[in-house]
Amino acid sequence: MTRYELSDAEWKIIAPLLPNKSRGVRRVDDLRVLNGIFWRLRSGAPWADILERYGPYTTCYNRFVRWRKPGVWDRLLQFLPEAYNGKIQMIDSSVVRVHQHAANGEKKRP
């Protein structure tokens, strides 16, 4: 397991929550695609810069968008705290603040 990838225990929790309906074409491994999506989201890189080991970036992007519409991501985020017995914390920019001394610093011009 490398940085940003799901552990086996996390995968066992997430796998049953994912849709598994085939669309006529052989499905790319969900774990590999999820690791690519999480790598992109955690690193902040553009979709086109997803590492080759995660497969084509278009697969990761398309699956991310396709799963957003039916609420797969919402279901995952709703279930995960229950799986960890409430011992999980999520931080977003609405709760992270700049220290008061850093907020109004003067910009130095050359």
Q: What are phi and psi of 9, to 5 degrees?
A: -65, -40
pTM of the model: 0.72
The yes-or-no verdict on residue 95 having pLDDT over 60 is no
The average pLDDT across 52-76 equals 92
Mean of per-residue pLDDT scores for the chain:
81
Query: DSSP labels for the chain?
Result: --TTPPPHHHHHHHGGGS-----SSPPPPHHHHHHHHHHHHHH---GGG--GGG--HHHHHHHHHHHHTTTHHHHHHHHHHHHTTT------TTT----HHHHTPPPP--
Distance CA 103, CA 110 (A): 21
Type of residue at 55? G
Q: Supply the pLDDT for residue 6.
A: 85
Q: pLDDT tens for residues 11-21?
A: 888 888 888 87
